Amino acid sequence: MMIRRLAVWLAASLILVQAHAGQSSVVQLASVYAAVASLDGNQLQVAKHADRQVPIASITKLMTAMVVLDAGLDLDEYLTVQPREQKLGKTAWTRMRNSSQARRGDLLHIALMSSENIACDVLARHFPGGLQAFVAAMNSKAKSLGMDDSVFFDPAGLSPNNRSTAADLVKMVRAAYQYDRIREVTTSTFHQVTFRKPRYSLQYGNTNPLVRSSRWDVSLSKTGYLSEAGRCLVMVSRINGEPTILVLLDSLGTRTPIGDAGRVRRWLETGNPGSIAVAAKNYERERTAAYRVDSVSQNGSVQ
């Protein structure tokens, strides 16, 4: 037992040394960018390109939820569903009927659990000062959390200009975890919303299958996807008895972040680094090359 613990400790030490040296982690991850940390700790246990600012898609919605809840607005108030105000060049398909009404709390629930994009727009437009004030509050909240490499342009994450780093998102997830409501709704499996004017009901499900798995103890979750951001997942799960934050950004396949979560847990529990498919390695090379070109064109250097 002592030998096994020593082996795990040595593996953990090695990954931290490599991470700080800018090298890839010992644990093999298909996600291009990643960060893992204890909920109560400050040091990253895994850091894979964790300081690179990249699109974060619907991971944005955790910030949206915090801004809504910080405002102390009535969660039972009915809000009117309307077409999206911002034109971001992205399709925001919804099952909600235009001009119908739903409670603010229900809209917050399906925005987080099912990544309902129009629900975010409705929440922001019914914020004091409207959408512009809401986005300003998102950026102000980010600064207050020390997320110095993060910027928000819309409340749903449809804009690829919503950008952050894996390290910054650890801070955001840690802050979001302090909200009982966010923990509750992001880990619920299904939720039914009853609308009025006209009256109808819609059933929604969680976009993260791990919340329904008996093998995982998930206490916060959010998924995301844009073509510019790839498949993304952030969550808090108990691993080795320790609440652990996982930030996994820009994966190729729908289930790739799920596989990476398993690889992280296995590495933390056993020291087994795992392996990833050749396609994932090729995808990472392509995305890294594109990042370098974009970074040089914008800043004159690679971050």
What are the catalytic residues? 58, 61, 115
Half-sphere exposure in the Cβ direction for 56 (13 Å, CA): 32
| Best CA proximity match to 195, nearest among 110, 68, 92 | 110
Alpha helices, DSSP H, located in the chain: 2-20, 61-70, 104-113, 117-125, 130-144, 166-176, 180-186, 256-270, 278-299
Alpha carbon distance 20, 36 (integer Å): 14
Close Cβ partners of 258 (under 8 Å, ≥ 6 residues apart) = 209, 210, 233
Query: Please, are residues 162 and 184 in contact by the beta-carbon 8 Å criterion?
Result: no
Sign of the torsion formed by the C-alpha atoms of 79, 84, 88 and 92: positive
Alpha carbon distance 58, 287 (integer Å): 19
Phi and psi torsions of 299, nearest 5°: -120, -10
Alpha carbon distance 202, 241 (integer Å): 37
Query: Please, are residues 172 and 94 in contact by the beta-carbon 8 Å criterion?
Result: no
Query: Please, are residues 90 and 158 in contact by the beta-carbon 8 Å criterion?
Result: yes
Residues in the chain: 303
DSSP state of 162: -
